[in-house]
A and B are shown apart, each in its own frame.
Chain A
Amino acid sequence: MEIQKARSGSTLTFTVIGRLDTTTAPQFETELKSSLEGVNEFDIDLNAVDYVSSAGLRVVLLAQKMMNKQGSMVVKNVRPEVLEVFEMTGFTSILNIK
């Protein structure tokens, strides 16, 4: 997995490429914790992600909880395979998916 970060003022975008799974979720968590200071709009672009396991859900939930305290978060360009996982686990009702 690779994360491309783009910051513009207080808006941050993570473009994730690859799988968000047990092996890669810790890297996402590290990047998240080191990048969110001063951010009040956080976008996660999942256009290049087709695989999210529960370890991936855990870090997306962590991001949502962190952003609930300091602004808003949008999950963008979700592919059908990943949307299915979000629907199956009720994540569609706690994430802002566009």
Chain B
Amino acid sequence: MKEITVDAEIGSLDRVLDFIRQELKTAGCDARAEIQITIAAEEIFTNIAHYAYNPKLGLATVRCAVSDQPLEVTLQFLDNGVPYNPLEAADPDITVSAEQREIGGLGIFMVKKSMDSIDYAYHDGKNILTIRKNLHR
């Protein structure tokens, strides 16, 4: 599994996404899956950058692995911030009008919808969020 460790702040987002895009390209991932996976990564990393250490600073590690049989991408996000399980957040109501729409929670909802699995664990003082997506070709 390859990994990158960066300051957990929005300014690191492009580096994280470039790292993931490079790994996905090497694996021969198609454009559509690449977009879905990078959107998911943006949503998760942005959450970490905003909430994990706020108002202090800290580090975040992103790991990426691509396996054969099944051809699957695994991304893992680790931080030493406050324990937070994003899967416990209620799904937003996506049936209401524009005026009543609230945007909070939409990011993690998109991750749940577009990935094949998403798992949260808290070990040794670390939040560990793991997402997987099958690359059907």
Number of A-B contacts (CB under 8 A): 59
How many chain B residues have a CB neighbour from A under 8 Å? 25
In-complex Cβ contact of B107 among A54, A84, A94 (8 A)? A54
Q: How far is B14's CA from A51's CA once the two chains are assembled, in angstroms?
A: 14
Which residues between 75 and 119 of chain B lie within 8 Å of chain A, taking CB atoms?
94-95, 97-99, 101, 103, 106-107, 109-110, 113-114
Looking at chain B's contact residues, is the secondary structure mostly helix, strand, loop, or mixed?
A: helix
Q: How far is B38's CA from A65's CA once the two chains are assembled, in angstroms?
A: 28
With A68-B98, A89-B94, A90-B94 as contacts: A22 and B13 at CB distance below 8 Å: yes
Least CB distance from A17 to B in Å reads 16
Least CB distance from A51 to B in Å reads 6
**B35-A22 in contact (CB<8A):** no
**A94-B42 in contact (CB<8A):** no
Chain A minimum-CB-distance residue to B111: A54
**A51-B106 in contact (CB<8A):** no
Q: Which 5 A-B pairs have the closest CB atoms?
A: A90-B94, A54-B107, A94-B98, A54-B106, A58-B103
A and B contact pairs by CB, cutoff 8 A, 15 listed: A21-B42, A22-B46, A23-B10, A23-B13, A23-B14, A50-B31, A51-B38, A57-B103, A61-B101, A64-B98, A65-B99, A84-B36, A85-B110, A88-B113, A94-B98
Give the B-binding residues of A (Cβ under 8 A). 21-23, 50-55, 57-58, 61, 64-65, 68, 80-81, 84-85, 88-90, 93-94
